[in-house]
Amino acid sequence: LKYKLKMTRESKISILVATDIHLGFEERSLIRGDDSFKTFEEVLSIAQRKKVDFILLGGDLFHDNKPSRSTVYRCMELIRKYCFCDHQVKFQLLSNGEVDFYHSTFKHANFQDSHLKVGIPIFTIYGNHDDVAGNGLCAVDCFHACGLVNLFGKHEGVEELNVVPLIVKKGSTKLALYGFGNVRDERLHRMFSKGKVTFSSEDPESCFNLFVIHQNRAQHSLSNYIPISFIPDMMDLVIWGHEHKPLPDPEWHEKFYIMQPGSTVATSLSDGEAGPKYCYLLHIAGKEFRSEKIELTTNRLFYFEDITLDNTGIPPDSADLEKKVEKYCVEHVESLLEKCKLTLEEEMDRPSLPLIRLRLHVNHEFKKFSVKQFGKQFVDRVANSMDLLIFATKRDSVSMLTTVDKKLLSAAVRKTSQDACERIEAVVTM
- The topology (CATH level 3) of 9-295 is Purple Acid Phosphatase; chain A, domain 2 (3.60.21)
Q: pLDDT over 70 for what percent of the chain?
A: 89
Say if residue 409's pLDDT is above 60.
no
**What is the Cβ-side half-sphere exposure of residue 346, based on CA atoms within 13 angstroms?**
5
Where in 80-160 does DSSP place strands (E)?
Answer: 92-93, 122-124, 150-151
- Containing 83, the helix (H) or strand (E) segment is helix 69-83
Give CA–CA dist 222/240, Å, rounded.
Answer: 20
Count of beta carbons in the 10 Å neighbourhood of residue 398:
6
Distances (CA, A) of 255 to 203, 217, 229: 17, 17, 10
- Which pLDDT value is given to residue 2? 44
Dihedral, 33, 261, 301, 31 alpha carbons, nearest 10? 0
Helix%, strand%, coil% for the chain, nearest 5 = 30, 25, 45
Query: Could you read off the pLDDT of 22-47 as tens digits, one per residue?
Result: 999 999 999 999 999 999 999 999 99
Query: Could you read off the pLDDT of 187-232 as tens digits, one per residue?
Result: 889 988 999 998 988 777 889 999 999 998 888 778 888 899 999 9
Say if residue 100's pLDDT is above 90.
no
- Which pLDDT value is given to residue 422? 54
SS3 35: helix
Q: How confident is the model at residue 365 (pLDDT cuts 50, 70, 90)?
A: confident
The conformation of residue 343, written as its DSSP 8-state character, comes to H
CATH of 302-393, one of 3.40.50.300, 2.60.120.10, 3.30.110.110, 3.20.20.150: 3.30.110.110
For Cα atoms 274, 371, 32, give the angle at the middle one, nearest 5 degrees.
45
Q: pLDDT over 90 for what percent of the chain?
A: 66
- Which pLDDT value is given to residue 412? 56
This prediction has a pTM of 0.88
Say if residue 408's pLDDT is above 80.
no
For Cα atoms 117, 121, 127, give the angle at the middle one, nearest 5 degrees.
135
CA 241 vs. chain centroid, Å, equals 4
Phi-psi category of residue 183: left, alpha or beta, with phi > 0 → left and psi -120 to 50 → alpha: beta
Distances (CA, A) of 331 to 186, 235, 337, 358, 380: 45, 50, 10, 12, 17
Q: What is the mean pLDDT of the chain?
A: 88
Domain limits, the chain: 9-295, 302-393
Say if residue 130's pLDDT is above 90.
no
In this structure, are strands 302-308 and 355-362 parallel, antiparallel, or unpaired? Answer: parallel
279 against 222, higher pLDDT: 279
Q: How confident is the model at residue 395 (pLDDT cuts 50, 70, 90)?
A: low
- Which pLDDT value is given to residue 219? 84
33 against 395, higher pLDDT: 33
- Which pLDDT value is given to residue 430? 43
DSSP letters for 172-219: TEEEEEEE-----HHHHHHHHHTT-EEE--S-GGGSEEEEEEES--S-
The residues that are catalytic are 129
Is residue 13 within 8 A of residue 53, CB to CB? The reply is: yes
Nearest to 300 by CA among 319, 327, 326, 273: 273
For the chain, the maximum distance between any two Cα atoms, rounded to a whole number of angstroms, is 77
- Phi, psi at residue 339, to the nearest 5°? -65, -40
- Which pLDDT value is given to residue 18? 97
Give CA–CA dist 284/173, Å, rounded.
Answer: 8
Query: Could you read off the pLDDT of 290-315 as tens digits, one per residue?
Result: 999 999 999 999 999 999 988 888 88
Give CA–CA dist 264/239, Å, rounded.
Answer: 15
Angle 35-50/69-83 helices, nearest 10 degrees?
10
Per-residue pLDDT averaged across 353-371, rounded? Answer: 92
Q: How many residues does the chain have?
A: 430
Nearest to 147 by CA among 76, 204, 202: 76
- Phi, psi at residue 226, to the nearest 5°? -115, 110
Nearest to 20 by CA among 280, 270, 262, 273: 262
Say if residue 423's pLDDT is above 90.
no
Say if residue 317's pLDDT is above 90.
no
Is residue 307 within 8 A of residue 361, CB to CB? The reply is: yes
Per-residue pLDDT averaged across 150-163, rounded? Answer: 86
- Which pLDDT value is given to residue 428? 45
Give CA–CA dist 121/236, Å, rounded.
Answer: 23
- Which pLDDT value is given to residue 236? 95
Most confident of 15-19, 159-163, 397-401: 15-19
Burial 142-163 (b: 16+ CB within 10 A, else e): ebbeebbbbbbbbeeeeeebeb
- Which pLDDT value is given to residue 158? 73
Give CA–CA dist 15/126, Å, rounded.
Answer: 18
DSSP letters for 128-145: TTT---TTS--HHHHHHH
